[in-house]
């Protein structure tokens, strides 16, 4: 099949499928618009309206918007597609509801991907060239094959990226793809492939050389401060006074920006400048007197207490690692005496994992072996009901933190269980907890687990109030990162390893 004829044949096939639509789609008398244009909303909710309501319009937009892949011989001489075509696609896409957008992307991925017949033909020629042992021919066929492995929709994305507002549009498109695949709204292989290809394109466009480091202060534009406040995902900003504190004395806020997305912070890092490494978030986000003047001589430690990716479409694009490295250099230049760099990180997912382990054991054994018998008895004495039932109820809120006796008796078992969750629970050999995995990949050390570090309702529900410091020993980060990525080795402090040892001795999973 000639590449130029493929789109026409595909459109003809889709037209024949529509002509063969069931009679039930037609109104009484067989005239007028198809009833499938007025189907009820998808049961998953109003945001996922069936895309079949306007298939002809979508197909028409795609056929006019997606430029063909130029022939290999003229790939460097082919003119770009007319700009109005891409603009029309962008306007049409923005007019759709969320579910329709995912369906349109699925259709784009399936109908305008790689020409498989061309790839198969070139693969056969490559095998023949290898058998003839002609290096020149092999390299030539490989280059041609590499070119024809380019999906047709990639040409559209490349052209959009060069248009005003195009980069933000593509980031938003990938956000819709990620959400659709995650929610299994469109769990199709073509859409997953598109997700990977667009991620690779964005990784090139948002590489560290194209990013600008900006410090956010109270004098920054109001619109930027508003976005920083809205994007904060770790410790929500309560009001403008709270925001002013987070960019005020003994605090730093940095973002990466991109020239193609002006005014849009891509990732935000909040830093607390302290005399030592703190293990309690309330001590960092508490009110600082406005009259306090920053004394640089008091700054000995830099604590990264919040890092938030603001664009879902940039998930998987390496930004956080580069941001921390750039911020470290900025802080060293400003405060030469800083000797300690550490995070104070949340532990999302711990409570969920813990309750799952409790439920699994009680279902199989009728009891839990995660706690010592003496610990269960003490908990029961305080609450008056069996320990397992108590824990299932307690960890859905922070009410238990109001009891000094419960706080004291739960410290030992929860600390050793949390240390195991961070150190011992794995996904494909790497740390199961995503925050741990992020910092360990960067070369940090799992340094200190902190009890009653976040007593807010959010912290209690997520991790029973615990937080962890990941310490950055700058001279060792490269070695630690390589050992983790290659050998899945977690560098941990004596405190963490002791807690893990206690878990292995006293708890059973």
Cβ neighbours of residue 155 closer than 8 Å, sequence gap 6 or more = 66, 67, 68, 69, 81
Beta strands 445-450; 301-309: pairing state: unpaired
- Residue 465 and residue 451 in contact, taking contact as beta carbons nearer than 8 Å: yes
CA angle, 432 then 433 then 439, to 5°: 110
Task: Kindly list the distances between the CA atom of residue 285 and the CA atoms of 177, 222, 242, in Å, as whole numbers in the listed order.
Answer: 35, 21, 8
The token duo for 177 is 């793809």
- Residue 252 and residue 215 in contact, taking contact as beta carbons nearer than 8 Å: yes
d(CA 469, CA 201): 34
Give the position of tokens 């005003």: 164
d(CA 353, CA 66): 46
Give the position of tokens 């026409």: 8
Cβ neighbours of residue 364 closer than 8 Å, sequence gap 6 or more = none
- Residue 191 and residue 181 in contact, taking contact as beta carbons nearer than 8 Å: yes
DSSP string computed for 347-387: -TTHHHHHHHHHHHHHHHHSS-SSS-HHHHHHHHHHHSS-H
The token duo for 7 is 């789109």
Q: Which helix (H) or strand (E) holds 189?
A: helix 189-205
Active site residues: 345, 439
DSSP string computed for 121-167: HHHHHHHHHHHHT-HHHHHHHHHHHHHHTS-HHHHHHHHHHTSTTHH
Beta strands 251-258; 267-274: pairing state: antiparallel
The arrangement of strands across the sheet holding 301-309 comes to: 211-215, 251-258, 267-274, 301-309, 340-343, 467-472, 445-450
Supply φ then ψ for residue 447, to 5 degrees.
Answer: -100, -50
- Residue 43 and residue 185 in contact, taking contact as beta carbons nearer than 8 Å: no
d(CA 16, CA 370): 62
């Amino acid at each position: 099949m000639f590449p130029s004829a493929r789109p026409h044949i595909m459109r003809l096939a889709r037209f024949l499928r529509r002509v063969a639509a069931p009679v039930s789609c037609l109104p009484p008398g067989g005239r007028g618009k198809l009833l499938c244009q007025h189907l009820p909303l998808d049961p998953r909710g109003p945001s996922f309206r069936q895309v079949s309501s306007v298939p002809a319009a979508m197909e028409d937009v795609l056929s006019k918007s997606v430029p063909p892949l130029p022939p290999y011989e003229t790939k460097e001489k082919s003119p770009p597609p007319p700009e109005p075509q891409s603009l029309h696609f962008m306007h049409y896409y923005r007019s759709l509801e969320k579910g329709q957008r995912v369906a349109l992307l699925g259709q784009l991925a399936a109908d305008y991907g790689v020409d498989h017949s061309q790839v198969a033909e070139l693969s056969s020629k490559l095998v023949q060239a290898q058998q003839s042992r002609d290096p020149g021919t092999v390299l030539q066929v490989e280059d041609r094959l590499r070119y024809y492995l380019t999906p047709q929709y990639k040409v559209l994305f490349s052209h959009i990226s060069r248009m005003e507002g195009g980069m933000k549009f593509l980031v938003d498109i990938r956000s819709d793809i990620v959400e659709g695949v995650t929610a299994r709204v469109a769990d199709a292989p073509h859409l997953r492939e598109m997700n990977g290809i667009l991620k690779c394109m964005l990784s090139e466009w948002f590489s560290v050389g194209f990013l600008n480091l900006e410090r956010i202060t109270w004098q920054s534009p109001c619109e930027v401060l508003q976005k920083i406040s809205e994007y904060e995902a770790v410790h929500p900003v309560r009001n403008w006074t709270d925001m002013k504190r987070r960019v005020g004395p003994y605090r730093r806020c940095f973002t990466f920006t991109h020239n193609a997305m002006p005014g849009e912070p891509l990732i935000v890092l909040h830093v607390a400048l302290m005399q030592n490494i703190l293990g309690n978030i309330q001590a960092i986000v508490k009110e600082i007197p406005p009259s306090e003047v920053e004394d640089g001589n008091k700054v000995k430690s830099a604590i990264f207490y919040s890092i938030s990716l603001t664009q879902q479409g940039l998930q998987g694009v390496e930004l956080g690692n580069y941001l921390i490295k750039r911020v470290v250099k900025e802080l060293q230049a400003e405060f030469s005496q800083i000797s300690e760099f550490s995070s104070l990180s949340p532990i999302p997912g711990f409570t969920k994992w813990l309750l799952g382990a409790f439920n699994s054991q009680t279902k199989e054994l009728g009891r839990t072996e995660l706690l010592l018998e003496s610990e269960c008895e003490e908990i029961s004495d305080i609450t008056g009901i069996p320990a397992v039932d108590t824990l299932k109820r307690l960890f859905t809120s922070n009410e238990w933190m109001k009891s000094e006796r419960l706080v004291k008796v739960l410290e030992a078992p929860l600390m050793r269980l949390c240390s195991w969750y961070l150190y011992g629970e794995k996904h494909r050999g790497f740390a199961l907890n995503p925050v741990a995995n992020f910092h360990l990949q960067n070369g940090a050390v799992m340094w200190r687990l902190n009890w009653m570090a976040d007593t807010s309702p959010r912290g209690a529900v997520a991790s029973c109030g615990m937080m962890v410091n990941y310490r950055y020993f700058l001279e060792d980060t490269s070695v630690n990162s390589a050992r983790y990525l290659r050998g899945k080795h977690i560098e941990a402090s004596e405190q963490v390893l002791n807690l893990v040892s206690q878990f292995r001795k006293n708890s059973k999973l």
